[in-house]
């Protein structure tokens, strides 16, 4: 499911891309602050979250994606997280479907 979230984010970021350095730098800062907080809250006693690199990456990537998504779609007429243009939503669902179909076929081959 997280992969589909990422695919949807990438599709929408492609439609609403903004090259503003300020937007991306602010999102990196938010990602760093929130990511560190999440990192400190995740490990069980006696274990370090730093051992799982994928988890660490996700803890920093998710706030980055959320903050950039919010900034990119600002004043674009989104209803919650849904684009006002049906073609954009269809494209995101289509890309996620291709990914899920590929994963299904690869797992079936095993």
Task: Output the pTM of the full model.
Answer: 0.83
**Hey, what are 92's tokens?**
């995101």
- Read off the pLDDT of residues 1-33 as tens digits, 9 standing for 90 and up: 889 999 999 999 999 999 999 999 999 999 999
For the stretch 48-74, pLDDT in tens is: 656 678 888 999 999 999 999 999 999
The sign of the CA dihedral 91, 97, 100, 104 is negative
Per-residue confidence at 47, pLDDT binned at 50, 70, 90?
low
> Which pair of tokens denotes residue 98?
């291709």
Distance CA 83, CA 36 (A): 31
User: Domain segments of the chain: what residues?
Assistant: 1-16+78-110, 21-75
N-term to C-term CA, the chain = 21
Separation in Å, CA 3 to CA 10, 71, 104: 10, 21, 14
């Amino acid at each position: 499911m997280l992969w589909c979230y990422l695919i949807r984010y990438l599709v929408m970021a492609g439609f609403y891309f903004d090259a503003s350095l300020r937007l991306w730098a602010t999102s990196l800062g938010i990602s760093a602050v929130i990511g560190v907080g999440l990192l400190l809250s995740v490990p069980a006693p006696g274990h370090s979250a730093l051992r799982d690199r994928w988890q660490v990456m996700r803890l920093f990537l998710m706030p980055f994606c959320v903050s950039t998504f919010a900034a990119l779609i600002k004043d674009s007429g989104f209803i919650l997280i849904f684009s006002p243009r049906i073609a954009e939503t269809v494209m995101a669902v289509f890309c996620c479907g291709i990914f899920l179909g590929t994963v299904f076929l690869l797992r079936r081959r095993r």
